Chains A and B, each alone.
Chain A
Amino acid sequence: MTKAQTPEIGVGFKPEHFANIANDKPNLSFFEVHAENYMGDGGPPHAMLRALDENYDLSIHGVGLSIGSDGPLDRPHLMRLKKLVDRYQPKLVSEHLAWSSHDTERNMLFLNDLLPIPYTQRTLNRVVEHVDQIQETLGRTLLMENPSTYVAFSETEMDEISFITEMQKRTDCRLILDVNNVHISANNQKLDAYQYLDRFPLHAVGEIHLAGHATDTDDDDAPLLIDSHDRPVAPPVWDLYRYVVKKVGIRPTLIEWDNDVPDWPTLYAEAVAARETMLTQTGETSAHALA
């Protein structure tokens, strides 16, 4: 009999939960942190990260490298990321298919959001160049996350899946499949989320993200979904997660909750729900996972 695989479940770490985590030692595999919050020299952020590192795997998730930028990568920032990665040797290092920095003639402008890129041959070449450069600098494989988007570009030459598939092939990076982003983009771009998942290069998925979203309206008063990370994972996103897990089997899964951060039991309950879903879908039992 083969040993049962334990689902690796993690949550996005928030300092306000540190005392709960230190006391409860929750049954989780990993914590994910936004790289940029740990680029100070010392203090409680690093003390907490060291403490987490003793009992859990770490995943470092960058939000500032602006890989989709038209201009060159922010080299000093890449070196900051390298310093952090070298220091903690996290299990996973990831970034986004998006841009957030803009180099003006006078100075660098950081836009503090994950902005969309047009899917063209030119942007693909640029993104591939940037991912190669990052992987080379860090000396390890990067995971790239699929975006949530609110607009499309008139100059688009290919669809998102073709872009991601080609990027993955050319750079040999791995992927974060953010299922909430799939649901959001499918609604906002009028696509079928299940068809999107059927075409996604699932073999390269190294992590799955789950999060909550808000609902707004677009120019035609149709629902426009917003990637707000401020509430529980929505039922249709759990449905997509079940569908994905059935196809790919056990993969590290993360609950992200970055705004209106709830108390620890509420967040942990989401992680437990993800574990149960994964076990059910992959035919494992809780007893196996907890053994």
Chain B
Amino acid sequence: MRSPNFRNDQTSFARALFHPDEESPANLVDPSGAHAPKRFGVYRNNVVVSLIDNLASTFPACHSLVGEEFFRALAREYALNFPPSSPLMIYYGDEFSQFLNQFKPAQQVPFLADIADIEYKRVKSYHAADGQRFNPASIADAPQDTLDSAKLKLHPSFYWSLSRFPAYQIYARAQAGKTLEGISFDEAEITLICRPEWDVQTQSISPNNKTALTALAAGFSLSTSVEIAQKSDPEFDLQALLTQLLAIGAIERFKFKSGATK
């Protein structure tokens, strides 16, 4: 974990903010010149509470899954150990999922880190650059062999998240305020995340798409991606994956070999 190591003049102030057990800096006083630890406590409280509130708004499903008290305790622990390193608070929480994976008390809810991964990727998708909507006419007359060698140009707001749990189903239930009753927790799931227009969309697909999705995202052609995927899963069906990617707006266009994209 990162632990702040301060140096210059504002050091003692910054350090004391994150160490509630330590005394407030001696140069902080009230108008009469008396040492004023309670007044300093306002800053201490503001900083930590603002970070916890920020995490609560970035991770609403995690918050609803574990409840207010437990979530705030986890968030406080994260805030004290992983304070923001940039003024871009819209992106705060980038290590929250990894933190939940490693932090013992969070492991009572073994899928929590994966839900946090989905939620953080939703935030990145929300702020990602605007992209193009796929035009089906652009491939209508492409010959099969050209299509095979095509690569995908994915939408800038597209992310995916693999879980050994049915993370999408859990996420969706939590967001709808429903219980997890009836979910079989040993099913793995891939969650697709994309913002083709205004709203960020999430969709689940089978985990057997993992290899092909990795290959396509890495820039391999359709045919090569299928080849790689079929090594571990001879039944792998690319058509089904492409249909799902198109449905969520994850594909901007097919890039054809000649360099001319249709």
**Residue total for A at the interface (Cβ-Cβ under 8 A):** 55
Q: Does B31 contact A (CB under 8 A)?
A: yes
B17 contacts A218, CB within 8 Å?
no
CA distance A108 to B14 in the complex (A): 12
- Chain B residues near A103: list those with CB within 8 A: 8
Q: Does A269 contact B (CB under 8 A)?
A: no
- Chain B residues near A42: list those with CB within 8 A: 127-130, 156-157
CA distance A112 to B43 in the complex (A): 10
CA distance A189 to B11 in the complex (A): 24
Decide yes or no: A106 and B126 within 8 Å by CB, A43-B195, A153-B29 being known contacts.
Answer: no
CA distance A100 to B50 in the complex (A): 13
CA distance A43 to B128 in the complex (A): 6
Q: Mark B2-14, 1 if CB is under 8 A from A, else 0.
A: 1011111111011
Question: Which B residues, 9 to 55, have Cβ-Cβ distances below 8 Å to chain A?
Answer: 9-11, 13-14, 17, 26-31, 33-34, 36-40, 42-43, 46-47, 50-51, 54
B90 contacts A37, CB within 8 Å?
yes
A45 contacts B46, CB within 8 Å?
no
A109 contacts B4, CB within 8 Å?
yes
CA distance A220 to B39 in the complex (A): 10
Interface size class of B (residues with CB under 8 A): 35 or more
Instruction: Give the residue of B2, B29, B47 whose beta carbon is less than 8 angstroms from that of A111.
Output: B47
Question: Which B residues, 70 to 94, have Cβ-Cβ distances below 8 Å to chain A?
Answer: 83-90
A44 contacts B6, CB within 8 Å?
no
B30 contacts A40, CB within 8 Å?
no
Q: Which of A40, A63, A110, A112 counts the most B-chain CB atoms under 10 A from its CB? A: A112
A110 contacts B84, CB within 8 Å?
yes
B interface, by DSSP: helix, strand, loop or mixed? loop
Q: Does A64 contact B (CB under 8 A)?
A: yes
B28 contacts A153, CB within 8 Å?
yes
Distance from B87 Cβ to chain A, minimum over Cβ atoms (Å): 3
Chain B residue with Cβ nearest A35: B87
Chain A residue with Cβ nearest B84: A110
Decide yes or no: A47 and B85 within 8 Å by CB, A36-B90, A152-B29 being known contacts.
Answer: no
A43 contacts B130, CB within 8 Å?
yes
Instruction: Give the residue of A39, A47, A69, A219 whose beta carbon is less than 8 angstroms from that of B10.
Output: A69
Q: Does A128 contact B (CB under 8 A)?
A: no
A109 contacts B85, CB within 8 Å?
yes
CA distance A154 to B54 in the complex (A): 33
A111 contacts B127, CB within 8 Å?
no
A40 contacts B90, CB within 8 Å?
yes
B30 contacts A151, CB within 8 Å?
yes
Question: Which A residues, 156 to 201, have Cβ-Cβ distances below 8 Å to chain B?
Answer: 188-191
A113 contacts B50, CB within 8 Å?
yes
- Chain A residues near B54: list those with CB within 8 A: 112
A154 contacts B27, CB within 8 Å?
yes
Question: Which A residues, 101 to 156, have Cβ-Cβ distances below 8 Å to chain B?
Answer: 101-113, 115, 118, 150-155
Distance from B193 Cβ to chain A, minimum over Cβ atoms (Å): 13
Chain A residue with Cβ nearest B27: A154
A113 contacts B30, CB within 8 Å?
no
Q: Does A70 contact B (CB under 8 A)?
A: yes
Q: Which of A43, A103, A106 counts the most B-chain CB atoms under 10 A from its CB? A: A43
- Chain A residues near B28: list those with CB within 8 A: 151-154
Decide yes or no: A66 and B87 within 8 Å by CB, A43-B157, A113-B50, A153-B29 being known contacts.
Answer: yes
Decide yes or no: A216 and B83 within 8 Å by CB, A37-B90, A155-B27 being known contacts.
Answer: no
CA distance A80 to B17 in the complex (A): 27
A150 contacts B39, CB within 8 Å?
yes
Chain A residue with Cβ nearest B46: A113
Q: Which of B26, B31, B40, B42 counts the most A-chain CB atoms under 10 A from its CB? A: B42
Closest 5 CB pairs of A and B: A64-B87, A40-B127, A41-B129, A42-B130, A110-B84
Binding site for B on A (CB under 8 A): 36-37, 39-47, 63-66, 69-71, 74, 77, 80, 99-113, 115, 118, 150-155, 188-191, 216-220, 224, 226
Given contacts A106-B4, A188-B31, 15 further A-B contacts (CB under 8 A): A42-B128, A43-B126, A43-B130, A105-B7, A108-B85, A109-B83, A111-B47, A111-B84, A112-B54, A113-B50, A152-B28, A216-B42, A218-B36, A218-B39, A220-B30
